[in-house]
Amino acid sequence: MTCRTSNQRKAGSHAQVTDEEKIQRVARAAHNTVVTYCKTHGDYSIKEWEDAEPWQRESTITMVKNTLEGNFSPAKEHERWLAEKTEKGYIYGAVKNDDASKGPLTNPNIKPYKELPIVQRMKDTILIAVTIGAAAHYGLPIVKTPELAFA
């Protein structure tokens, strides 16, 4: 019996996986990478993929699909996220609150992309960069490589 590490997959092991499953795997990779990035900056508010709320997973899957369709950028990803949050009733607040029973839904990133600190702008760049890399790994087509400048 031969044991394989995760990096020693059997050739063609992704061939049996549907594109939708590949997109979910890409979303998981992007999401969990950002979770780790946030933790390095002291933000422990984002849960790992397996524990994330369904809306968080759906939001990341939407980002992956948009990125694969092309004409996407970190600024556009923030605009998409901002629209999603404001539609749910979020307002700017210095302290993040995702629990409506504790007061208004607030987030310190409810502001235009150019006003975000570089640490926050990097999250959108990381999401897109990981999406492109993981999509290539799974053989998903990328219509156009997005602009990844975050400054």
* 119 occurs within a structural domain: yes
pLDDT, residue 15, reads 63
Domain region containing 109: 19-138
* 151 occurs within a structural domain: no
The residue written with tokens 């059997």 in the block is 10
Total structural domains within the chain: 1
* 106 occurs within a structural domain: yes
CB 48 within 8 A of CB 33: no
* 143 occurs within a structural domain: no
pLDDT, residue 76, reads 87
pLDDT, residue 11, reads 45
* 144 occurs within a structural domain: no
Which class for 18: exposed (0-12), middle (13-18), buried (19 or more C-beta within 10 A)? exposed
* 89 occurs within a structural domain: yes
* 74 occurs within a structural domain: yes
The low-confidence residues of the chain, meaning pLDDT below 50, are 1-11
* 9 occurs within a structural domain: no
Residues 6+ apart with CB under 8 A from 76: 66
